[in-house]
Amino acid sequence: MVQLAIVEDEIEYADRLKQYLEQYSKESGHEFQLSFFTDGDEIVENYQARYDIILMDINMKFMDGMTAAEEIRKVDPEVVIIFITNMTQYAIRGYAVDALDYVLKPVTYFAFSQRLDRAIERMRRRNRHYLTISVHGGAQKLDIGQICFAESHGHNITFHLKTENYTTIGTMKEIENKLVEEGFFRCNKGCLVNLEYVDGIRDSCAVVHGEYLAISRARKGDFLKAITDYIGENMK
């Protein structure tokens, strides 16, 4: 199910996009869960990083689409944004907020379906490399490649990224199931390590991005094998 938001202040165009999505769904087999907003400020307020695709009008009354996209990018680096506009010069500015593309009004189904094909493909390629977690006040998408390790504290999990940390409620087993195929391995009961950031082993600890993380006796053999296998796979 593709989570898609339409941000459009003209009801006529919002309805047309909905009809196009219904047609595209029948032709492609993709199912969409739709959310509608009539202005940029509506989607930005209490924004949660749960959308896969956002169709965004640029010219709106209270907050234009470009400003809304800039605010969204602060918390959601990966949602696919497609601008809908009648002015090409504004659409080109979309590259500054990593917009995938733009569709000019009046929107035709052919042009719309082409952009949607691209959006689905980008979403498919990127989905497995991001992890969405619940945080205070909403949700946060984490770039899995930036996660050095995750550790549990009671019912909380803290993700240590290269530049910042995020804490969410959950269990280590749940996180392990989501990240094991991404090159993560537990060095002890409460610590899941991104093997890419293991700089070495010192005094029964894994040195991960400058941190010394204890390797439990029970997991030492499996952990060392996991590192060896990871290095071997990435040297091919």
How do residues 54-111 score in pLDDT, each as one tens digit?
Answer: 999 888 889 888 889 889 988 888 889 998 887 766 555 665 577 777 888 888 999 9
3-state secondary structure 42-93: HHHCCCCCCCCEEEEECCCCCCCHHHHHHHHHCCCCCCEEEEEECCHHHHHH
> What distance lies between CA 174 and its chain's CA centroid?
18
Spell 74-94 as b/e; 16+ CB within 10 A means b.
ebbebbbbbbbbeeeebbeeb
Which of 10-19, 123-132, 147-156, 225-234 comes out lowest in average pLDDT? 123-132
**In the chain, what are the domain boundaries?**
2-129, 136-234
What are the helix (H) ranges across the chain? 11-28, 40-44, 65-73, 88-92, 109-126, 172-179, 220-234
User: 127 by DSSP, 3-state: which?
Assistant: helix
The Cα 197–Cα 210 span in angstroms is: 9
| pLDDT the model gives residue 50 | 87
Greater model confidence, 183 or 125 = 183
The Cα 81–Cα 73 span in angstroms is: 10
Segment holding 106, helix H or strand E: none
Cis ω for the linkage preceding 106 (within 30 of 0)? yes
Topology (CATH level 3) of domain 2-129:
Rossmann fold (3.40.50)
* Mean per-residue pLDDT, 149-174: 94
| pLDDT the model gives residue 236 | 46
Class at the top of the CATH hierarchy for domain 136-234: mainly beta
| pLDDT the model gives residue 125 | 67
Are 230 and 183 spatial neighbours (Cβ–Cβ below 8 Å)?
yes
Decide if 2-129 and 136-234 have a common fold.
no
* Mean per-residue pLDDT, 180-188: 91
| pLDDT the model gives residue 235 | 45
* Residue 4 burial (10 A CB sphere; 0-12, 13-18, 19+): buried
| pLDDT the model gives residue 95 | 57
Question: Nearest 5°: phi and psi at 30?
Answer: -75, 135
pLDDT tens digits, one per residue of 7-63? 998 999 899 999 999 999 999 999 999 999 999 999 999 888 889 999 998 888 898
Percent of the chain with pLDDT over 70: 91
The Cα 190–Cα 150 span in angstroms is: 8
| pLDDT the model gives residue 232 | 66
Partners of 70 in beta bridges: none
| pLDDT the model gives residue 85 | 83
| pLDDT the model gives residue 152 | 96
